[in-house]
Amino acid sequence: MTESPLPQELEEQAALYALGVLETGDRRAFAVRLQGESLPLRQAATAYRAVVEALASAVAPVTPRPPLRERIVDQIAVEAAHDRAQFEAVANTLALNAVPVVPRASLRERLMTRVEGHTDVRVDPLKGLTFVKASEGTWHELAPGVSAKALFFDQASRRATALVRMTPGSFYAPHRHAEAEELYVLEGGCFCGGRELKVGDYHRAEAETEHHDTSSDEGCLLLVISSPQNEMLP
């Protein structure tokens, strides 16, 4: 039986619940409903929760002394994660490991309004330069033994850059590429596209091609540039 599309009201509640800004009464009711509701609602709540966790870890909070606050508010990107562009980048990148949840335009505007209402400082991140330290970011499980950490989402090419770690004996599900996918082996080795790849090896798969056999016997760390909209195959 095919699940019906999630109503807009429930989708909005799932997002606000994950953000922690759902009214107290509604939050309790939603938590109860979440325990026995249909799969689409649980998937939406899980996906939005992952977005919120990634946003929370994107930047380190900085609390200036009150006398300095006004002078530095336009210079410190302590809440850059709430910037519209970064919200979209993280949401799309997380689609690598979650059921895609793309808010309707009206819903996105309401969500951003609620987020902005809970933020004291909101400035644009430094334009043109992006840094993600090894200690920053959040790893999310894609499949048993396979996890990824989002680094960047290129809105022009609609491709995400991420680190992917595979434990020994793990494999990734077959998929068709919506856009070109690039892979570079940083550690260990893997089997992909019918070929064995070792440290320093590079692989590119064009749009509409398919991967059926991505696995690792010894474990590996990969740098992957791929579309979040790849189609998972049976």
Q: What's the confidence (pLDDT) of residue 176?
A: 93
Dihedral angle computed from the Cα positions of residues 68, 72, 76 and 77, in that order, rounded to the nearest 10 degrees:
110
Which pLDDT tens digit goes with each residue over 42-72?
778 888 777 777 766 665 666 656 656 565 5
Helix (H) or strand (E) holding 164: strand 159-166
Contacts of 212 (CB under 8 A, 6+ apart): 174, 233
Q: What is the average per-residue pLDDT within 84-105?
A: 50
pTM of the model: 0.51
Q: What's the confidence (pLDDT) of residue 131?
A: 85
Q: What is the average per-residue pLDDT within 172-198?
A: 95
Q: Do 153 and 92 form a contact (C-beta atoms < 8 A)? A: yes
In Å, what is the CA distance from 60 to each residue of 78, 126, 132, 179?
A: 7, 15, 12, 33
Neighbours of 25 (CB within 10 A): 8
Give ∠ CA 101-114-97 in degrees, rounded to 5: 25
Q: What is the average per-residue pLDDT within 127-143?
A: 86
Domains of the chain: 8-58+86-117 (no CATH), 139-232 (2.60.120.10)
pLDDT at residue 223 greater than cutoff 80: yes
Provide the 8-state DSSP code for 120.
S
pLDDT at residue 88 greater than cutoff 60: no
Contacts of 10 (CB under 8 A, 6+ apart): 37, 41, 44
**Strand intervals (E) in 11-82:** none
pLDDT at residue 83 greater than cutoff 50: no
What SS3 state is found at 117? Answer: helix
